[in-house]
Amino acid sequence: MDPQTLVQAPAPSASQNSPRIPALQSATERVQAQISHLLHIESFAGMVLMLAAAAALVWANSAAAPSYFALWHAPVALTLGPWSFSTDLHFIVNDVLMTVFFLVVGMEIRRELHNGALASLRQASLPLIAAIGGVAVPALIYVALAGNDRTLLNGWAIPTATDIAFAVGVLALLGRNIPGALRIFLLALAIIDDIVAVLIIAFFYSGGLQAMGFVVAAAGVLLVLLFNRMGIAAAPLYVLPGAILWFGLLKTGAHPTLAGVVLGLMTPVFARPAPMPLLITAQTAMRKAGEQVLSGRPDPQHLLQELRTAQLAQRDLLPPALRLPMILHPWVAFCIMPIFALANAGVQFSDIDLSATAPQTTAMAVLLALVLGKPLGVFICTWLAVKSGLCSLPEGLNWRGVLLVGLLAGIGFTMSIFVGGLAFADAKLLGAAKLGILAGSAMAALLGLGYGFAMRKRLQHA
């Protein structure tokens, strides 16, 4: 059967009065619906995170505070024969669940490198330069304020990160009149920020590396490559090699969440070849399912079988790097990230002595680096790149939009909290850093919203 036959095939007799949608068009519309749904989730992700963080702050500073800290330090043990693994709930959230978040980040990076905003040097150059400024200037401000205290200097990377979900969620509150080029620029910059954050975690916040762990991690990578080579598309089967990779990285001393990034970067960006037979399979299965429903007395087993066949065909039609984030994104946005915020944003104010020099300096350095360093770094480096002729502003993006992106990039929130947990072992310094992160991210969000609403009509004009 050729494509023309596929498009013009007659509809079942029971539904001749209904307009027929070609299979290819139907598949395209489903993809568009999924993408639209994804964008809808992004617009609310920031609000969900904010509510989770607020709940953590209230809980940690209420009479029920002991239950908050007892919950996250509750012991968790896994025993399998002679082998056992003991930890606490906080580790499960930060090192296991966050691996799924970094898996989605890795797949987003993989997709953008293939055919997105980072697909070519020309496309990536401006957000790359802006991101470098957005990392370097906050780090320099933090280091300048931290002085010669080596313990405080360990937190230099805290204000370098950007919370994609929160930043995009705040941008969505400004309405649909925001230029598309501005949103793409923010996303590209935030993705590059994520790449830098991953590299920082790998090189600056991993312990002494153990060779045996690399052997185990390499075995996990080789198993993933073997599965890819065999054409295995079922995502659950990759849990085993992913777990081996995660455990290997844990044993090396590197942060195990990097396993998610590695798996994401290894996710195929191409669908299986010969999509037309898959379309035919999906169309045939849906036609038979439709006939079952229209008959008035459908056979449940037969109907389920046809729907399952159509679902499997649809799975093979979409590249894994596109399909898996669609599945995982709601879980990450509405489950994993809010749980992470709930587990990590609970700063007990009574334990933070801001009259002491070290906590006061830490909180202020993080706050100023996020609120001032991010917009200054993004704007100045973008301006220098454009004025020197290295790059040009994309059509639809003006200097007011660049400043707005810089302000929103100051929302470090979950990513900054994550890095802070790696930077400081001292509970008082970590609490002060979290206070600076929460206050700085809130100020950046409010400044971005206020500026965005004030300049909303002028963001679309040069």
Average pLDDT for 332-347: 88
| DSSP 8-state code for residue 332 | I
Q: Is the pLDDT at 246 greater than 80, yes or no?
A: yes
pLDDT of residue 20: 46
Per-residue CA distances from 372 to 57, 141, 356, 409, 438 (Å): 25, 9, 24, 11, 15
Percent of the chain scored above 90 by pLDDT?
A: 34
Q: Is the pLDDT at 140 greater than 70, yes or no?
A: yes
Highest mean pLDDT, choosing among 4-8, 171-175, 281-285, 429-433: 429-433
pLDDT of residue 4: 40
Taking the domains of the chain in order of start, what are their residue ranges?
43-204+328-460, 276-317
Q: Please, which residues have CB within 8 angstroms of residue 421's CB and are 6 or more apart in sequence?
A: 94, 344, 430
Q: Is the pLDDT at 342 greater than 70, yes or no?
A: yes
Residue 72: both structure tokens together? 């996250």
Q: Is the pLDDT at 104 greater than 70, yes or no?
A: yes
Percent of the chain scored above 70 by pLDDT?
A: 79
Closest CA to 100 of 219, 334, 261, 274: 261
- Rounded to the nearest 5 percent, the helix, strand and coil shares of the chain are 75, 5, 25
Chain segment 343-359, per-residue pLDDT in tens: 988 888 887 888 888 99
Please give the Cα distance from 462 to 458 (Å, whole number): 8
CATH topology of domain 43-204+328-460: Na+/H+ antiporter like fold (1.20.1530)
CA end-to-end span of the chain, whole Å?
52
Beta strands in 54-101 (DSSP E): 75-80, 83-88
pLDDT of residue 245: 93
Chain segment 393-431, per-residue pLDDT in tens: 888 889 999 999 999 999 998 889 989 988 998 888 999
